[in-house]
Structure 1
Amino acid sequence: MSTNTNHASPADTAVAASAVFDLQKIAASLPDHSDTMLIDTRLTDEPHASSRVFRVYRPVAAHYHATCDEYLSVLSGRAKFFLGEAPPFVAGPGQLIFFKQGTIHGIPKILEEPFVVLAVDTPRRDPSDVHFVDPADGTPESFIQSKRLY
């Protein structure tokens, strides 16, 4: 089995035809604290889809993404999560959360840390595509910071 052993961020290198990522190692490399709500590591960054592992450090206010659908697979931790007008639910390891572009969502409370998620965005989500329902709650810059792979 061939694997991509280039440990630079795919955004910084030529696009590989395939890759194998150690999600647990990537999750463990995320820092314990952050000035932003989230820190992510981009795994792939293609026009048709992007993927990343991110850790949530504090509650995330209601927001949406205008350009992509999102799939979130919880890797560790637990958090209260909401999607649109549906009642909040507890998200934990093994759950896959899906929502369409424009769906208002958020994380009002982290219940167990570290809350780490694998995200796949279709098509690719530009890091600036974060729109808070109340603009006073944040900006793309206060929302997320990217970290190099490994």
Structure 2
Amino acid sequence: MFDVFAEAAALPETAETMLVDKYFVDKASASARIFRIYREVPLHYHEECDEHLYLLSGHGTFHLDGEEFEARPSMFLAFERRKIHGFPRVTSEPLVVLAIDVPRRRPDDIVFVDPAAGDAKSFMARNAEGD
């Protein structure tokens, strides 16, 4: 069992990467984790998993497959692998998301639309505390 809000509060205040995540479940069939977004997340997609995102806190803009939507607490976003998405704007922090990935999203399963926008290393860091 995990106290999601306590784990979210334990994520670092700043990061060199776009995101920092903390896995709750990390199995081949699915992963469950929280992540905090620290800055713009350029358009990208994942080759191997469908993502299901529930916004816990913060506000911003979510881009999915050519459209932009308000991102705010209580929003649930579900999309298939290879769907282009991103968070082009963070307007209030902390922007924290609960993610369920089916099957598991490997940390290096990230393809940026513009390869110059980033790579797996600049995208996300796993929170070392408690791992």
TM-fit CA distance, 1:79: 1.1
Question: Which residue of structure 2 aligns with residue 132 of structure 1?
Answer: 112
* Aligned positions, number: 130
What does residue range 36-75 of structure 1 map to in structure 2 within 5 Å? 36-75=17-56
Question: Which residue of structure 2 aligns with residue 120 of structure 1?
Answer: 100
Q: Which has the higher strand share?
A: 2
The structure with the largest alpha-carbon Rg is 1
The C-alpha deviation readout for 1:67-103, integer Å capped at 9, x for no partner, is 0000000000011001012x21111111110100000
- Structure 2-normalised TM-score? 0.97
TM-fit CA distance, 1:149: 5.4
Alignment of 1:147 with 2:130, yes or no, is no
Alignment root-mean-square deviation, CA: 0.9
Which residues of structure 1 form unaligned runs of 5+?
1-19
Which residues of structure 2 form unaligned runs of 5+?
none
TM-fit CA distance, 1:111: 1.1
Secondary structure at the residue paired with 2:7?
helix
Query: Percent same amino acid at aligned positions?
Result: 45
